[in-house]
Amino acid sequence: MGPRLERRTTPSKRMSWGSPLLAVGLTLASCIVLFLLLGLNPVTALYVFFVQPISNVYGATELLVKATPLVLCALGLAIGFRANVWNIGAEGQLLFGAIFGGGAALAFYEQDFVGLLPLVALAGALGGALWAAIPAWLKTHFGANEILVSLMLTYVAGLALSYLVHGPWKDPEGFNFPESRLFHDAALLPILIEDTRLHAGAAVALVAVVACWLLLARFMVGFQIKVIGLAPGAARYAGYSESGVIWFCLLLSGGLAGLAGAFEAVGPVGQLVPNISPGYGFTAIIVAFLGRLHPAGILLAGCLMALTYLGAETAQIELNMPSAVTGVFQGMLLFYLLAADVLISYRIVWRTATGETS
């Protein structure tokens, strides 16, 4: 007989926070093997990957630029995951946020008024929330699986964005490239540190971290979310509305992802392009779990995952490595994390033939 998984009676509390560290360690170890196989000096390669990108102020701010959408998306996802609402479509909600936010910026092209940026941000959040409302409605009315619906809608959102920038919203002076106009200055997010791309969205993300922490730790809504996730029977006994929580979680995570999308459009990108996001919405799923579904953890995990984007860019330039290495890293990290999590709740039992019968 082969190995078998057996549930542990008391999973270690300490290890549930230790497992992300373990996963990071194992990912690094695997990276070293990978580098050796590619004939690279692992020390140099690790340095190029993880230290060089943030060895100057510009690099450090770039890290925060990349972490901003990751953290915003992951916060919403984590709150949903706490209530067993599995929104996998943050990427699509992010794209719709970009469409709505970017659309608002284009609608008021060359206009300048006080409420313009808040309006853009609000439109972005609304777009993401609307896109997430579809799986919410289908789940609460027909019991449709939100994992499938939200995932599929991601591709619809990608096509919608593509249609807009190829057609109605294409820049008239853009040499037929599939891009919108560059947004005018008043519609662009203010820069926090001069000569960098660090924009006000990063500050908003930080506020969102605190707000989400408060929501979970201190507010009745957050409490109900946790109860529904931990003990659905107790939630029914207490009379908490399950469909209410499904709506809340999906609208919140959609809204935050949409906000992230709008920030990308009127922040670092500055216009609408078909590939406005390098998969932030999907990476955010890893960020949420790596951060243990806790806002503070998500902040750290978001920075770490942002580093893998930056590291891959430097590695591409310095070491001639393919940019797909980001995906390899993220995949390994998630794999090790899930494996470590399984081993926290289960242990491997080797069964011998004699043990079965004697």
Partner 1 sequence: MRANDDVNLELFAGEIHALLGENGAGKSTLVKIIDGLLQQDAGQILWEGEQVRINGPKAARQMGIGMVFQHFSLFDAMTVAENIALGLDQVIPMDQLEHRIGQLASEYGLSVEPRRAVHTLSVGERQRVEIIRCLLQETKLLILDEPTSVLTPQEAQALFVTLRQLRDEGCAILYISHKLHEIRDLCDKATILRGGKVVGECDPRVTSATELAVLMVGAELAVPGRKSSNAGQILLEVENLSMSGEAPFGTALVNLSMQVRAGEVFGIAGVAGNGQSELLRALSGEQVQRDANCIAIDGRAVADLKPQARRERGLACIPEDRLAQGAVAGMTLVENLTLTTTKEQALVHFGFRLIARTAALARDIIAKHDVRCPGETALAQSLSGGNLQKFITGRELAKQPRVLIAAHPTWGVDAGAASAIHQALLDLADAGAAVIVISQELDELMAICDRIAVIADGHLSAPEPTANLTAERIGLRMAGSYGT
Applying CB under 8 A, the residues found at the interface with partner 1 are 218-221, 223, 226-227, 230-231, 233-234, 236-239, 241, 355-358
Complex with partner 1: residue 230 or 296, whichever CB lies closer? 230
CB of 1 to partner 1, least distance (A): 12
- In whole angstroms, the minimum distance from the beta carbon of 231 to partner 1 comes to 4
Minimum separation from the CB atom of position 225 to partner 1 (A): 12
Cα 116 from chain centre: 26
CA dihedral 219, 220, 223, 228 (to 10 degrees): -140
Q: How far is the CB of 346 from partner 1 (least distance, A)?
A: 17
To the nearest whole angstrom, how small is the minimum distance from the Cβ of residue 358 to partner 1? Answer: 6
CA nearest to 64, candidates 216, 230, 269, 201: 201
Cα dist. 10→6, 15, 168, 344, 350 in Å?
12, 11, 59, 9, 20
Cβ distance to partner 1 smaller for residue 156 or 211: 211
d(CA 78, CA 82): 6
Minimum CB distance to partner 1, residue 218 (Å): 5
The DSSP secondary structure of 37-51, one letter per residue, reads HTT--HHHHHIIIII
Which one, of 64, 345, 92, 312, lies nearest residue 205 by Cα? 64
What length does the chain have?
A: 358
**In this complex, which beta carbon is closest to partner 1, that of residue 55 or of residue 236?**
236
Q: Which is nearer to partner 1, 118 or 239 (CB)?
A: 239
Nearest distance from C-beta of residue 356 to partner 1, angstroms: 7
Nearer to partner 1, 195 or 356 (CB): 356
Residue 1 exposure: Cα atoms within 13 Å on the Cβ side:
13
Nearer to partner 1 by C-beta: 185 or 356?
Answer: 356
Compute the distance between CA of residue 263 and CA of residue 257 in angstroms, rounded to an integer.
10
C-alpha to C-alpha distance for 186 and 266, rounded to whole angstroms = 10
Cross-strand bridge partners of residue 62: none
Of the pair 242, 318, the CB lying nearest partner 1 is at 242
Angle at 273 between CA 270 and CA 277, to 5 degrees: 85
